[in-house]
């Protein structure tokens, strides 16, 4: 009886230890990460789960992305997400909707900075996915917008993918009919764009 109890305690301890080692990757993004227009199983976040298993990296992936979300929306949602999931890594993929709405880059920077601060206070490592806007928004605005991500990466000492849609945005066959959202064929490329920067954080 006593041996059985000890064995049961040992199994429980090992299960808890395994759960502690297997951290959580939290993705907070907009429609690009929510796989708008696609089956979610086709999206880059689902592909990330597959890549982690293939690499033998035991991680839980939580996709908290909402189509149409802005940096302000992400900032409002993040504290509850951090409290619930206690992530090891937080991937921030936000800003595109701020830019499309012509919101001030300074406000985007402030919101993302607060999100980074909140995540780091919880002990999470942050990966920031940079965005860019099409040239029709004006040279100054597009430049200031893109600079937000580099400024944050430098100032907050966080990992950065300078342009998440590199090799996807504006490339024939890689975008859906709306010209805004990546097609299914682009999802593997999106994952490849961030993987070399994400892997060292795990």
Q: Would you state the structure tokens that stand for residue 124, as one six-digit string?
A: 């999470």
Please check whether residue 133 is in contact with residue 142, taking contact to mean a CB–CB distance below 8 angstroms. Answer: yes
Nearest to 89 by CA among 28, 24, 147, 137: 24
Residue 164: per-residue pLDDT: 98
Residue 15: per-residue pLDDT: 45
pLDDT digits (tens, 9 = 90+) for 146-202: 999 999 999 999 999 999 999 999 899 999 999 999 999 999 999 999 999 999 999
pLDDT digits (tens, 9 = 90+) for 44-103: 999 999 999 999 999 999 999 999 999 999 999 999 999 999 999 999 999 999 999 999
Q: What's the whole-model pTM score?
A: 0.89
Name the residues annotated as catalytic. Answer: 31, 178, 181
Using 50, 70 and 90 to split pLDDT, how confident is the model at 16? very low
Query: Rounded to whole angstroms, how far apart are CA atoms 60 and 141?
Result: 37
Q: In a 10 Å sphere around its CB, with 0-12 CB exposed, 13-18 middle and 19+ buried, how is residue 111 labelled?
A: buried
């Amino acid at each position: 009886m006593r041996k059985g109890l000890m064995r049961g305690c040992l199994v429980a301890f090992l299960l808890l230890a395994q759960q502690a080692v297997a951290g959580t990757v939290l993705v907070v993004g907009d429609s690009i990460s929510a796989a708008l227009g696609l089956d979610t199983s086709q999206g880059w976040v689902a592909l990330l789960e597959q890549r982690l298993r293939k690499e033998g990296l035991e991680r839980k992936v939580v996709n908290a992305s909402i189509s149409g979300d802005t940096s302000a929306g992400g900032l409002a949602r993040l504290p509850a997400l951090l409290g619930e999931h206690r992530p090891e890594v937080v991937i921030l993929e936000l800003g595109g909707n701020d830019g499309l709405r012509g919101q001030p880059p300074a406000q985007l920077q402030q919101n993302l900075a607060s999100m980074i601060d909140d995540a780091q206070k919880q002990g999470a490592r942050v990966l920031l996915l940079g965005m860019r806007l099409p040239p029709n928004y004006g040279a100054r605005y597009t430049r200031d917008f893109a600079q937000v991500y580099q400024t944050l990466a430098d100032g907050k000492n966080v990992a950065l993918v300078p342009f998440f849609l590199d090799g996807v945005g504006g490339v024939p066959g890689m975008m859906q009919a709306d010209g805004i959202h990546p097609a299914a064929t682009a999802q593997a490329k999106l994952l490849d764009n961030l993987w070399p920067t994400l892997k060292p954080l795990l």
